[in-house]
Structure formats: C-alpha cells, structure tokens
Amino acid sequence: MLTKETIEKEFQKIQQHICSELEKADGKATFKTDEWKRPEGGGGKSNILTGGAVIEKGGVNFSAVHGPTPDNILKALNLPQADFYATGVSIVMHTTNPWVPIIHMNIRYFEMTNGTWWFGGGIDLTPHYVVKEEAIAFHQSLKDVCDQFHETFYSTFKEWADKYFYIKHRGESRGVGGIFFDRMGSDAAISKEKLFEFVCALGYLFPKVYTKIIAENKSKSFTEEERNWQKLRRGRYVEFNLVYDRGTKFGLDTNGRIESILMSLPPEANWTYDFQPAAGSKEAETIDWLKAQPNWLAI
C-alpha cells in the first residue's frame, strides 16, 4: 500500500537529484539549504542558488506539512472538516541570460484524515523570447512521458495548462505552457500507485529537459535592450504568481513560510508604463506567440 511516508521520501530524493543536476549545468554556484519548521506541524527544506554562471536565482523547495485544515481552504475546495497532510517539490529558475527561459515545476500530494487524497503538479516553460523549435521540443518531451501513463494525459493537461497559466488582465499566456493537473484522486483514469509513478517521472524529467535548454543557450550573447525586455517579462511572471497562482495562495492561507512561498519571484523585474514592442521585432513576435497559445505539436 502506498503511504504518505513513501511519497515524502521519494519527493526528497527528487529534490536532491534535481539540485545535483542543476549545479552541474550551472558550473559555478551551489545550492544553500535552509531547513524550516511550521509551527502548526511539519516543515521543509528550501534549496536556493544565487549568482550562478547561468542561474541568477533559483529555488528547489521540498515541504511536508500537516495539521488542522484552515477554514478558508475547506471553503475554497469545498471540503469537509478534517486534518490535512501535504507534501511536494516546487521549482522556479530565473536566469541571467535572456535566451535561457524561466522554468517552473511542481509535484505535490495532499490527503486528509477523512480519506480524501489527490496528486497535482505540472511543468511549464516561460521564455523571455519564444523560439518555436524550443517550444516544440519541450512539449514533445512532456507528451512522451504522459503517453507512458495514459493516452489522454498530454492533451488534457496541456489544455489545462493553457487555461491556468493565462494572465487574464494582459490577454496573454505566461509562457509557452506545458502541462498542469490538480486534484487527481480516486476518480482518475489510473491507480494511485500509477499516479505516483507519473508525478515522479515528471520530477526526473525536469533536469533532463532544463539542463539541455541551458546547454543550448547559455553561451548566447545578449544586449542591454534584451536584458531590459527580460525584466519586463519577469514582471508578467510576478503578476501571475501574486494574482493567480494556487500554490502561492495555498501557502499563504496555511501560514506557510513566506521566504519559501515567494521564492518564485525574480531578483529583478521592471514595469514600464504602456510599453509597446516595435512592429516586426522579436519582442513583438514573442507577444504574438503568447496571445496565440498554439498547439505546439501541430505547427
């Protein structure tokens, strides 16, 4: 029988593996570990890397928390009163070079003492400049993993990501999307054990995909104008995370550790009043892609 202890232990292994692979890819900086305790129950380990050769600021966080479920969570999720347990790994990477994209991954497990349980997670890519071939390769890697578990996973989770990672007030996607799923429980198309295998497969896919992207882009030169554009795109990332992101809201609503919750924010971001990219520029092309939200594997 699959237990929360087994899930927690494997998530810790995934965190360690990802940190090791990212340190190799960066080649300069190493992760600093910050262990913390949650007064209401549980705690976690935040691994933070700053000032790297490639990664300007990145975090690979693990948490396992438990206790009485706050009333606002019960109401928001339409759940009966019961204690909760939640564990997961959450990752965000912000890079110095505008040609190396921001990336996010989250895998998580939630259960309650009344027998309710589910898995959630996903991976999405946020390029500062959208490169069609890179987006296609990224989505193909996700589809390859999804197809190992269920034929509908990629199409369903890709659509879910397109809807979720959408900045409504801007009318554009946060990035080129990816996959996103939530509350996958006893009514899912595959068993609990297979769902666990699936989220772990995504965890181990992450460093393979991202270290390849780093290797292909880290040596590209960039201008000050491109760096300024990067900071504007980071501003969009901040807007999404503070307005829409469920993980951020859940962490704040459960009295989570603020430094770990806001780890996803970039070290620098800009907001320029009514910025309009020049017609025909690569910046304008990126905005066009983000508004279109294409089916990358059908282009």
Q: Which two tokens stand for residue 108?
A: 């998580």
Answer whether 146's CB lies under 8 Å from 154's CB. Answer: yes
- Residues whose CB falls within 8 Å of the CB of residue 26, separated by 6 or more in sequence, listed in order: 49, 52, 53, 54, 55, 214
In the residue annotation, 17 being an active-site residue is answered as no
Angstrom distances, CA of residue 222 to CA of 26, 71, 95, 96, 226: 18, 49, 13, 10, 6
Which is the catalytic residue, given 66, 104, 128, 139?
104
Closest CA to 106 of 43, 181, 36: 181
Q: φ, ψ for residue 177 (rounded to 5)?
A: 75, -155
Angstrom distances, CA of residue 251 to CA of 54, 88, 113, 115, 273: 28, 12, 20, 22, 31
Q: Which residues have a catalytic role annotated?
A: 104
